[in-house]
Chains A and B, each alone.
Chain A
Amino acid sequence: MDSNIVVAEHAQAAHRAVRHHFESAEQQRDASTVGMWVFLVTEIMFFGGLFLAYFAYRHAYPTAFASASNKTDLWIGAANTTVLICSSLTMALAVHCAATSKRMLLVVFLCLTLVLGSVFLGVKGYQYHDKWVHHEIPGQNFHCEGCADATHTPLFFSLYFGMTGLHATHMIVGVGILLVLIFQSWQGRFDAAWHTPIENFGLYWHFVDIIWIFLFPLLYLIDRSGKGLS
């Protein structure tokens, strides 16, 4: 492969060039969209293992899960979900702006997404800290005040930290990528003809949002009426 020539092409036409092995810009764009979706399928299966563990243990130890879930803060959780959904909206609008070549609005919406994502992570950090203070982290001097079924309660918190932790890791990676994209958008790298990175990042961000849409009811909303199980 004649990388010199390709490098030169890149220098000249920056990102816009259709890479040498594609027949057309359409084929290139289509390939990266398909690739992104295939990647997201791997992410579905990656989180799938955790969801399986969740359902298995919730099925086996309903009481432990019900009482442990009540240790989470429903309203903070709901508020944080709202924040994340807002960030999904701003991201969708950012893609829209990229597709209509509105550079400034694109930067603004990406920045908003960044801010909302950071707020979400901040609240998550606060909640983790709260759990630390109350000794509700498994393996670290675990102690759950008033929890039924003390043997299996730690499993809920293991899953809580496993699932939200993996989700937060994805968010942190997303925030990192966002910083780069904001910089590149500011430089005017994206327009209607080519904004594949923005589009693919949008897919990633929405996917992370979807994971949270499931985590919220599964972790925060078990037996909130207080009489079903226990």
Chain B
Amino acid sequence: MITAPPPVEVEKNYINAEHGLKSWLLTQDHKLIALLYLISVTAFFFIGGLFAVFIRLQLATPTGAMFDSNTYNKVFTMHGIIMVFFFLIPSIPATLGNFLIPLMVGAKDLAFPRINLLSWYIYIAGGLFTLWVLFNGGVDTGWTFYTPFSSSYSNGYVIAAGLGIFINGFSSILTGLNFIVTIHRMRAPGLTWFRLPLFVWAHYATSVIMILGTPVIAVTLFLLVLERGLHIGFFDPAYGGDPVLFQHLFWFYSHPAVYIMILPSMGVVSEVISTFCSKKPFGYTFIAFSSVAIAVFGFLVWGHHLFVSSQSVYAGMVFSVLSYIVAIPSAIKVFNWTATMYKGSVRLTTPMLYSLGFIGLFTIGGLTGLFLACLGMDVHLTDTYFVIAHFHYVMVGGAIMGYLAGVHFWWPKMFGRMYPEGWSKLSAVIIFVGFNLTFFPQFILGYMGMPRRYAAYPAEFQVLNVLSSAGASILGLGYLIPFVYLIWSLKYGKPAGPNPWGATGLEWQTASPPPTENFEITPVVTTEAYEYSTEEVVHVG
């Protein structure tokens, strides 16, 4: 069914307000900056994905089909660094958050537009730096940079990679800073904290983690660079230092960083589920506060990464118990989403499919996290594929599913076009199937004792590894399909009205795509969030 796109009357919006490369590269409009991020984040996603392809190809046979051990070390390291620091952490906040937070709070822009643009340039600088490392031989430390291997023995470009991540950290800090100030100080009249969309609450919690955690990884990498570059010892026992201290500092950021990845996805899912059930989310305040609780508790549990290091056993016990506590706010969210759907008129649109996938996969990822939080159990499972499967269920099954749900949900708002519904649903299903086929076998592999980060494995593990590699190719296909049809939709998609999903929320009250100033008149909010029954949500004036 090929129909010529109906002629759209060309309205002034943020995309066509100005033309030329300069108008993009020097823009201070949060929506254009969000698009810049969207493009660059997608590029890094595919680069990181390429390394994932290499990993799965290598592991298709027990002896390793492609690389020697050294090269394989570099491959999984670059996969980790790029996916964690250059895709997952900026993914939702810098694209959807950047685009939507001013719209959702009824502001014309983020509080500091120039800082927002600066954060993108910093991100690009850090990213290029890291890519430069990649083309010059790479790093082989794993994304965790454990000392003393990283500081004294590794042959890779540790200093350069560390600097790339250090630089990139500032972009994350600036984004978080901008969000916090915007949410505190730029809300439209009448928009109280408890009328904010849950997406905004989730981003507030995320920003808190970005602000408080990122500087610690920055200083840790700074010390690592001093130790490696100038032999000013901090962590290497040869200099009298304590490698466990590095792990403490590293995980003080990197554990909460997992919540930087998952919290925004939870925000997206809260929006999507409420919209496609046309119901107020069950227990709004619980969902809102559970985001904040995750941000706070998330900072108390990092020691569970150190159970098999020489960390004190007593500290380990406390960290184990605290890790269980994080499950409570996470579970509250899952229960509330489920309760929202109960007796709702559920519409199975593409964003909803992704959100349902999110709930299932995140639940598996979260519950297996409890296995690992258990002090005794972790001794058996640590550094096995069980851990890999666990955090991919959270980061890919959780964070990326949420990201895709969000992209599909707000795509019509961002570009004013609908994407083909059939293709998008198909790809959602393909991703779900491919994902489970890739990572579920890894739980079993890990439980059977296959260690992570090895280029070869005993022959009895081959069947499960081949299953996993097969799943990865399905998953890869699943990611390519949206890439194609979303670009296609930019030109040929059906025009979307201001509110194609019948959602509440201020962002749906303005045109699609929104005008540069977001709202013609600053909106005044007089009702609670998610009032589906009320006819008039916003009184303009």
Interface residues of A (CB under 8 A from B): 1-3, 19-23, 27, 30-32, 34-35, 38-39, 41-50, 52-53, 56-57, 60-61, 64, 137-140, 151-155, 158-159, 161-162, 166
Q: Is A34 touching B240 in the complex (CB atoms < 8 A)?
A: no
Partner of A162, one of B28, B214, B223: B223
Q: Is B240 touching A38 in the complex (CB atoms < 8 A)?
A: no
One digit per residue, 1 when the CB lies within 8 angstroms of any chain A CB and 0 when it does not, for chain B 508-523 equals: 0000000011000010
Which residues of A are found within 8 Å of B230, using beta-carbon distances? 139-140
Compute how far the CA of A59 lies from the CA of B29 in the bound complex, rounded to whole angstroms: 50
Compute how far the CA of A164 lies from the CA of B107 in the bound complex, rounded to whole angstroms: 42
Compute how far the CA of A66 lies from the CA of B181 in the bound complex, rounded to whole angstroms: 44
Q: Is B215 touching A43 in the complex (CB atoms < 8 A)?
A: yes
User: Cβ of B111 < 8 Å from any Cβ of A?
Assistant: yes
Which residue of B178, B215, B218, B245 has the most chain A CB atoms within 10 A of its CB atom? B215
Which residues of B are found within 8 Å of A64, using beta-carbon distances? 240
Q: Is B185 touching A31 in the complex (CB atoms < 8 A)?
A: yes
Which B258-278 residues have a C-beta within 8 angstroms of A? none
Q: Give the A-B pair count, Cβ closer than 8 A.
A: 137
User: Cβ of B112 < 8 Å from any Cβ of A?
Assistant: yes
Which residues of A are found within 8 Å of B367, using beta-carbon distances? none
Q: Is A48 touching B216 in the complex (CB atoms < 8 A)?
A: yes
CB distance from B397 to the nearest CB of A (A): 30
Query: Would you mind naming 26 contact pairs between A and B with Cβ atoms under 8 Å apart?
Result: A1-B27, A1-B32, A1-B109, A1-B113, A2-B17, A3-B18, A21-B109, A31-B112, A31-B185, A34-B180, A34-B184, A35-B112, A41-B212, A42-B214, A46-B218, A46-B219, A47-B219, A49-B219, A53-B234, A57-B241, A139-B232, A154-B239, A155-B239, A155-B240, A158-B239, A162-B234
Q: Is B516 touching A1 in the complex (CB atoms < 8 A)?
A: yes
Which residues of B are found within 8 Å of A21, using beta-carbon distances? 102, 107-111, 113, 186
The 3 closest A-B pairs by CB, nearest first: A139-B231, A49-B219, A46-B215
Chain B interface, >50% SS class: helix
Chain A interface, >50% SS class: helix
CB distance from A215 to the nearest CB of B (A): 15
Partner of A39, one of B26, B177, B185, B240: B177
One digit per residue, 1 when the CB lies within 8 angstroms of any chain A CB and 0 when it does not, for chain B 202-235 equals: 0000000001111110111011001000111110
Compute how far the CA of A151 lies from the CA of B236 in the bound complex, rounded to whole angstroms: 12
Compute how far the CA of A32 lies from the CA of B184 in the bound complex, rounded to whole angstroms: 12
User: Cβ of B173 < 8 Å from any Cβ of A?
Assistant: yes
- For B522, give the chain A residue with the smallest CB separation: A23
Q: Is B26 touching A3 in the complex (CB atoms < 8 A)?
A: yes
User: Cβ of B242 < 8 Å from any Cβ of A?
Assistant: yes
Which residues of A are found within 8 Å of B26, using beta-carbon distances? 3
Q: Is A3 touching B240 in the complex (CB atoms < 8 A)?
A: no
Compute how far the CA of A153 lies from the CA of B241 in the bound complex, rounded to whole angstroms: 10
Instruction: Using known A-B contacts A3-B26, A21-B108, A45-B216, determine if residue A60 contacts B242 with beta carbons closer than 8 Å.
Output: yes
- For A4, give the chain B residue with the smallest CB separation: B18
Compute how far the CA of A39 lies from the CA of B111 in the bound complex, rounded to whole angstroms: 14
Which residues of B are found within 8 Å of A41, using beta-carbon distances? 211-212
Which residues of B are found within 8 Å of A44, using beta-carbon distances? 215
CB distance from B345 to the nearest CB of A (A): 38
CB distance from B349 to the nearest CB of A (A): 32
Instruction: Using known A-B contacts A48-B216, A162-B223, determine if residue A56 contacts B185 with beta carbons closer than 8 Å.
Output: no
Which residue of B28, B102, B223, B232 has the most chain A CB atoms within 10 A of its CB atom? B232
Which residues of A are found within 8 Å of B113, using beta-carbon distances? 1, 19, 21
Which residues of B are found within 8 Å of A153, using beta-carbon distances? 240
Compute how far the CA of A126 lies from the CA of B349 in the bound complex, rounded to whole angstroms: 69
Compute how far the CA of A158 lies from the CA of B216 in the bound complex, rounded to whole angstroms: 18
One digit per residue, 1 when the CB lies within 8 angstroms of any chain A CB and 0 when it does not, for chain B 96-140 equals: 000000100001111111010000000000000000000000000
Instruction: Using known A-B contacts A45-B215, A46-B215, determine if residue A2 contacts B112 with beta carbons closer than 8 Å.
Output: no
CB distance from A156 to the nearest CB of B (A): 10
One digit per residue, 1 when the CB lies within 8 angstroms of any chain A CB and 0 when it does not, for chain B 494-517 equals: 000000000000000000000011
